[in-house]
Amino acid sequence: MSLPRVAFGSRQLKKQRPLIKGTDVRRLQQALKHLGFFRARVDGVFGYRTSEAVREFQSFFKLKQNGKVSDDEFNILTELVQAGINKWHTPCHDFAHTGYLPAPITAQLTLSKTWNISDVLWLNSTSDRLIVTTKEQVLAISLISGKVLWRTAKIFPVAAPVISEGQLLIPAQNLEILDLFSGKRLQSISQDNFTTAVAARGGKIYASSWGSLHAFDRKGKALWKYRTSGAFCTSPTLGYDLIYFASYDRNIYCLDDEGTLYWKTKVSDMIKLPLAIWDGKIFAVSQDARIYAINPLLGSLIWQKKFTDDELMMPAFHPDFMLLANYKGEVVAISFQSGQTKWAADLPAAPTTSPVVLKKTCFIGTEGGLVAYDIESLKCRRFLEGETIRAIAPAALSLFVATDKKLVKLVPNQEPHPTRKQ
């Protein structure tokens, strides 16, 4: 059906006669479908099912349930669309490794669904599906129905997969490239031994191996290779049309898209975690628990600070702070402008996952369950107590959590809305 082209948010949408049609309605339906509210065919026509989906959306966000899409609804949807609905493409969300998604998931959760999938290593999500990586295979699960869409034959990942341009990129000694929608193997890149997560942008894939960084096209053709004097390089980080990584030669490197050195900066200790980009800075976490904040275009040091004697996990960010956790179970929120401490807490058990930060809540997996901190009150809640958490990923306004023996879906508690006239 050819639909009138209408800018999203330019008019109020509601059920009326004749039915409203347009590309803005189609975009509304797509967003509501990915959030789990709209379960019909996306057709760009604002009918009964679209109106009911809008009411469910309004109930979730505690808006007036009138089935109309006006400024309040457009503002919420626009923020979610811009942030990337369901886009948890790496274990730390994006190729800037921010660990942050402004999804309004609170610390008041209830168990919604369980899958008997054990040995989960990583979780990713995009569009309408959750990607579950175990020790021996990869599965795609529908975020709408919960059904398994496909599963691979045996594959043995050695680092976290990432999602890019409809492909799943899996380091498994070779770099395996799967079609995201069918699970079919498209390419297997065997030029080197790939044991860290890769990054991708446009038609290029960037992968580190030992002390080098490689660039390939989507068909596996080698484009360039940059060698360092170190024995290991971190996973690449992308931002400002540049590529950032650290090497065990104690340098932080910045390359352009052609593999030419843009700058490099020497630091005092080795870095094995991926670099993170936030607030116009590169953040590097060293093995001696020192944080370096670096100018991403010049490579100059902005500030550095040591917080603890215990090794730190990958940080996560919020518009108001950077969240750090160490393996001892200490959590600290610091200013990303200056490194000053904002608040600190002790986890009830040793952490097993890096922090995940959402709009209202911080989540950390531990050996004794999932811990959630309300960002405003710092009130702590615990879920899945007594179980070891292996992976966390937010998607479809829910939280997917993998334990040693199962995968679960946690959804925010919602006050039941009154029965509507059918």
pLDDT tens digits, 342-383: 999 999 999 999 999 999 999 999 999 999 999 999 999 999
- Decide: helix, strand or coil at residue 105: coil
Confidence check: pLDDT of 91 > 60: yes
- Residue 75: strand, helix, or coil: helix
pLDDT digit string (tens) for 171-215? 998 999 999 999 999 999 988 889 999 999 999 999 999 999 999
Helix pair angle (71-83, 23-35), 10° resolution = 70
Give the per-residue pLDDT at 89.
Answer: 96
> Is the alpha carbon torsion for 353, 354, 355, 356 positive or negative?
negative
| Per-residue pLDDT at 367 | 96
Alpha-carbon gap, residue 46 to 69, rounded angstroms = 11
Compute how many other C-beta atoms are within 10 angstroms of the C-beta atom of residue 363.
25
Residue 422 has pLDDT above 70, yes or no: no
Residue with the bigger pLDDT between 81 and 172: it is 172
Buried b (16+ CB within 10 A) or exposed e, 343-361: eebebebebbbbbbbbbbb
Interatomic CA distance for residues 144 and 396, integer angstroms: 8
Among candidate residues 391, 396, 420, the one with its CA nearest the CA of residue 408: 391
- Whether 270 shows a pLDDT value over 90: the answer reads yes
Q: How much is the average pLDDT of 262-270?
A: 95
- Across residues 210-229, what is the average pLDDT? 95
The mean pLDDT value for 227-236 works out to 96
Per-residue model confidence (pLDDT) at position 192: 87
The per-residue pLDDT for 104 is 86
Q: Of 269, 224, 229, 218, nearest to 243 (Cα)?
A: 224
Residue pointed to by tokens 């004697």:
309
- Identify the weakest region by mean pLDDT among 94-103, 272-281, 408-417: 408-417
- For residue 419, give both structure tokens: 């029965």
Residue 417 pLDDT exceeds 50: no
In this predicted model, what pLDDT tens digit does every residue of 287-322 receive, in sequence order? Answer: 998 999 999 999 999 999 987 888 999 999 999 999
pLDDT of residue 307: 79
Would you state the pLDDT for residue 421? Answer: 35
Q: Is it the case that residue 62 has pLDDT exceeding 90? A: no
* For residues 132-155, average pLDDT: 92
Domains of the chain listed by start with CATH number: 23-83 (1.10.101.10), 100-412 (2.130.10.10)
> Which has the minimum average pLDDT: 75-79, 237-241, 307-311, 367-371?
307-311
Q: Band of the pLDDT at 1, cuts 50, 70, 90?
A: low
